[in-house]
A and B are shown apart, each in its own frame.
Chain A
Amino acid sequence: MPLDTATDFHLTHLRELESEAIYVLRETAAQFQNPGLLFSGGKDSIVMAHLARKAFFPALIPFPLVHVDTGHNFPETIAYRDQFVKDYGARLVVGYVQDSIDRGTAVEETGPTASRNSIQSVTLLETIEENDFDAVLGGGRRDEEKARAKERFFSHRSAFGQWEPKNQRPELWNIFNGRKAFGEHFRVFPLSNWTEMDVWQYIRAEQIPLPNLYFSHQRRVFLRGKAWLDTETGFIAPQTGEHIEERTVRFRTIGDVTCTGAVDSRADNLDDIIAEVAAARQTERGTRADDQRSETAMEDRKREGYF
């Protein structure tokens, strides 16, 4: 994205969103003693880490990346994370869900659809406590779902890590109040005003590298619900009636293997992905007959809202 897109004091929407996010990242560094940046290897956290590099350039990012590791990872995600840390001299803190399970603070789900997704929050809170983080930066966006639409940039959490949606601090102009009592912390969302489309357009404009999982590839998968689940990592197996097939797929979000579904797609570059996201919007409006892409896009959206 060339900077000369700004003429006569006009900024493109991406540049304005970028500027706002950098401002929030700098406020976080300045207002808190010990912030951490949640880094899952998903596209939103990759964009946030990219913005953090910009915010403090040419210095290093002044806070660690925090990865809550369910143990059910795509190897590509871990490789991407480690490469990023190496390339940009970032610090990395990993909280292991397995440790919480071993400690007995989290109880693993059982059954064929067991997932570690919901117990991640236990590990996150433990990681926050162990490392004395007083602010945790997340890639959450307000367009993800209704309750998130009322979330603040600086979201206050009680000493128990809880959010009280009816008692949020008003956030006026661009003045953020990060004052807190001992033991309380903040969640900070620099991408609050971004939409999914903004994130993809920004990734393209900035040519931000992504894990290959986001692009179309051959994979052995099986269908559960409306999503293709992975068999290659070995963390999840088909049940009776579920058959393994080799398909051309890609992932639209990346998280724990057991609950991250792939979609049928031939989009192997950013232009095609953006066209796909845009097309999904059209069919989801109900103006066209459902096609495979739109159905999975919808599923994908719900998953994103889940976080």
Chain B
Amino acid sequence: MDLLRFSTCGSVDDGKSTLIGRLLYDSKSIFEDQLEAVENSSRKRGDEHVNLALLTDGLKAEREQGITIDVAYRYFATPKRKFIIADTPGHVQYTRNMVTGASTSQLAIVLVDARKGVIEQTRRHSFLVNLLRINHIVLAINKMDLVDFDQEVFNQIEKDYRAFASGLDNPMEITAIPLAALHGDNIVDPSDNMPWYSGPTLLQHLEVVEVLDAENHDDARFPVQWVIRPQSEAYPDFRAFAGRVAGGVFRPGQKVMALPSGFESTIKAIHTIEGDLDEAFAPLSVSLSLEDEIDISRGDMIVSSDDLPRHEQELNATICWFSEKKLIPRGKYYLRHTTREVQAIVSALNYKVDINTLERDEDTANFALNDIGQIHIRTSSPLFFDAYKRNRITGSFILIDAGTNETVAGGMIE
């Protein structure tokens, strides 16, 4: 059984929480005591139906306001797959939460209200998902019951969406599914109300969709987390570098280079407690030993000798700003990239993106909470990186405020 991580975007008005509640409920992942609690709450609120949205909105403020503020993670499994849902809020003031949820996802469900079609919010969500390079989209056209299950409505929305998506930077594989989440149509079982739709139900699609392209298996990248040196009687000279493969494949005998030193060596072995491996690939956690004694420590990167990452102190990146405190031009921040931390100066603000119109705005005077745009960064020592579109791990970083230690931005390297 494998694992699929997906995120859902859409506001509560689109029925997002209902859709998730329905997935959990119809895949039999809800326990009786949880359901009872939701039934009680629904009654107290005077809701007409059992409000499945209450299953997911956990924080008190969310229940009071009926909206999802933070990213919540949900789990369910079918005999075919295990799923992790990053349930993200849709309102514009929670852009940062959407970005957070999308950052670990392999697929996104973009919800559309069939009565409204593709609206500003749909475009915003899709832009963000595309920016984070989620290549698999389920266009969930919900509330089909409110448009008499009309095939024409569905077709038009799908057409509109594909036209819009073709203008985004990264190509996406889009699967459109007509739903009525409140009643369960096409969630798990095919809907009797839409005989014209012959595609998979939402769950059928999630169970079989191939998302292998989320990991990079081409460029060997191994950020070193920790050096293992037991210095024990049994292992007097053992020295290995612990980490999680961030890209490509490592095999014993392979020529590798350590960065930043530039020293080359050969992989001696790939260690795990169960024994040595013939190969290691993302996202496996292993430890590597090398044939030569090279000084390597946390924050260094072991890479394939004939396929080096960029190795620079200047870079352009698209960032999403997370903090109430505005970005300070020429301000200094800590930059954390894989296991490496350096100091960084934001040396230029190139543009902001209006995430509703997708237009670039050169006026960057106020780069504030939830803003997205491109900046230029200079770092105190070199980073070893790939473009985000090539590798989500070696192409991403966060900025940390040196005073408050808050994470103030997430960045994707151009």
Are A and B co-members of a single complex?
Answer: yes
**A residues apposed to B, CB below 8 Å:** 3, 6, 9-13, 15-20, 22-23, 26-27, 29-30, 53-60, 142-143, 145-147, 149-150, 165-166, 168-175, 177, 179-181, 192-193, 195, 197-198, 281-287, 294, 298, 301-302
Residues in B neighbouring A59, C-beta threshold 8 A: 228-230, 232, 235
How far, in angstroms, from A53 to B272 measured CA to CA in the complex?
10
Residues B35 and A172 in contact, CB atoms below 8 Å apart: no
* Residue total for B at the interface (Cβ-Cβ under 8 A): 75
Residues A57 and B273 in contact, CB atoms below 8 Å apart: yes
How far, in angstroms, from A286 to B33 measured CA to CA in the complex?
10
Residues A149 and B3 in contact, CB atoms below 8 Å apart: no
How far, in angstroms, from A17 to B35 measured CA to CA in the complex?
28
Among B114-122, B309-317, B399-407, the stretch in contact with A: B399-407
Contact sample, A vs B, 28 pairs, CB 8 Å cutoff: A10-B2, A16-B3, A19-B244, A27-B339, A30-B226, A30-B298, A30-B339, A54-B272, A56-B226, A57-B273, A58-B228, A146-B57, A149-B72, A150-B59, A166-B70, A170-B97, A171-B100, A172-B99, A172-B104, A172-B410, A173-B392, A173-B410, A175-B337, A175-B396, A179-B400, A195-B82, A281-B31, A302-B33
Nearest CB on A from B67, distance (A): 13
Residues A173 and B84 in contact, CB atoms below 8 Å apart: no
Query: In this assembly, does B208 line the interface, its C-beta being within 8 Å of a C-beta of chain A?
Result: no
Select which of A58, A143, A145, A179 is within 8 A of B238 by beta carbon: A58
Select which of B28, B70, B212, B398 is within 8 A of A150 by beta carbon: B70
Q: A9-B212, A23-B244, A60-B230 are in contact. Are A180 and B405 (CB under 8 A)?
A: yes
How far, in angstroms, from A27 to B340 measured CA to CA in the complex?
11
Query: In this assembly, does B277 line the interface, its C-beta being within 8 Å of a C-beta of chain A?
Result: yes
Residues in A neighbouring B228, C-beta threshold 8 A: 56-59
Select which of A17, A53, A285 is within 8 A of B32 by beta carbon: A285
Residues B400 and A285 in contact, CB atoms below 8 Å apart: no
- Shortest Cβ-Cβ A-B pairs, 4 listed: A146-B58, A179-B405, A22-B285, A59-B230
How far, in angstroms, from A180 to B398 measured CA to CA in the complex?
16
**Which one of A3, A145, A146, A294 has the greatest number of beta carbons of chain B within 10 Å?**
A146
Q: A172-B99, A193-B84 are in contact. Are A12 and B75 (CB under 8 A)?
A: no
Residues B242 and A298 in contact, CB atoms below 8 Å apart: no
Nearest B-chain residue to A170, judged by Cβ = B100
Nearest CB on A from B28, distance (A): 5
How far, in angstroms, from A197 to B400 measured CA to CA in the complex?
36
Nearest B-chain residue to A206, judged by Cβ = B274
Nearest B-chain residue to A171, judged by Cβ = B100
How far, in angstroms, from A169 to B405 measured CA to CA in the complex?
9
Select which of A145, A172, A192 is within 8 A of B100 by beta carbon: A172
Select which of A19, A143, A301 is within 8 A of B75 by beta carbon: A143
Nearest B-chain residue to A8, judged by Cβ = B212
Nearest CB on A from B211, distance (A): 11
Residues B103 and A173 in contact, CB atoms below 8 Å apart: yes
Nearest B-chain residue to A179, judged by Cβ = B405
Q: What sequence of 0s and 1s flags, for each residue 199-220 of chain B, a beta carbon within 8 Å of any chain A beta carbon?
A: 0000000000000100101000
Query: In this assembly, does B281 line the interface, its C-beta being within 8 Å of a C-beta of chain A?
Result: yes
Select which of B235, B244, B284, B407 is within 8 A of A177 by beta carbon: B407
How far, in angstroms, from A284 to B298 measured CA to CA in the complex?
47
**B residues apposed to A, CB below 8 Å:** 1-3, 28-33, 35, 56-59, 61, 69-75, 77, 81-82, 84, 96-97, 99-100, 103-104, 212, 215, 217, 225-226, 228-230, 232, 234-235, 238, 242-244, 271-275, 277, 281-285, 298, 322, 334, 336-339, 392-393, 396-398, 400, 405-407, 410
Residues A175 and B272 in contact, CB atoms below 8 Å apart: no
Nearest A-chain residue to B395, judged by Cβ = A173
Nearest CB on A from B290, distance (A): 16
Nearest CB on A from B277, distance (A): 6
Q: A150-B59, A173-B396, A177-B407 are in contact. Are A301 and B33 (CB under 8 A)?
A: yes
- Known contacts A56-B242, A57-B271, A284-B32, then 18 further A-B pairs from the complex at CB < 8 Å, ordered by chain A residue: A3-B277, A6-B284, A13-B3, A23-B244, A166-B59, A169-B407, A170-B322, A171-B100, A172-B407, A173-B392, A173-B393, A173-B410, A174-B244, A175-B336, A177-B398, A285-B31, A285-B32, A298-B32
Q: A19-B283, A180-B405, A192-B73 are in contact. Are A149 and B232 (CB under 8 A)?
A: no
Nearest B-chain residue to A59, judged by Cβ = B230
Nearest A-chain residue to B230, judged by Cβ = A59
Residues in A neighbouring B32, C-beta threshold 8 A: 283-286, 294, 298
Q: A150-B72, A284-B31 are in contact. Are A170 and B407 (CB under 8 A)?
A: yes
How far, in angstroms, from A29 to B277 measured CA to CA in the complex?
24
How far, in angstroms, from A287 to B31 measured CA to CA in the complex?
11
Nearest A-chain residue to B30, judged by Cβ = A285
How far, in angstroms, from A286 to B36 measured CA to CA in the complex?
10
Residues A177 and B405 in contact, CB atoms below 8 Å apart: yes
Select which of A11, A20, A166 is within 8 A of B69 by beta carbon: A166
How far, in angstroms, from A110 to B72 measured CA to CA in the complex?
38
Nearest CB on B from A282, distance (A): 7
Residues A16 and B283 in contact, CB atoms below 8 Å apart: yes
Residues in A neighbouring B77, C-beta threshold 8 A: 195, 197
How far, in angstroms, from A26 to B71 measured CA to CA in the complex?
25
Residues in A neighbouring B283, C-beta threshold 8 A: 11, 16, 19-20, 23
Residues A284 and B33 in contact, CB atoms below 8 Å apart: yes
Residues B226 and A26 in contact, CB atoms below 8 Å apart: yes
Residues in A neighbouring B225, C-beta threshold 8 A: 23, 26-27, 30
Residues B59 and A3 in contact, CB atoms below 8 Å apart: no
Residues B405 and A181 in contact, CB atoms below 8 Å apart: yes
How far, in angstroms, from A145 to B57 measured CA to CA in the complex?
11
Residues A193 and B97 in contact, CB atoms below 8 Å apart: no
Residues in B neighbouring A302, C-beta threshold 8 A: 33
How far, in angstroms, from A172 to B235 measured CA to CA in the complex?
37
Residues A147 and B58 in contact, CB atoms below 8 Å apart: yes
How far, in angstroms, from A99 to B279 measured CA to CA in the complex?
51
How far, in angstroms, from A13 to B334 measured CA to CA in the complex?
34
How far, in angstroms, from A24 to B370 measured CA to CA in the complex?
28
Residues in A neighbouring B406, C-beta threshold 8 A: 169
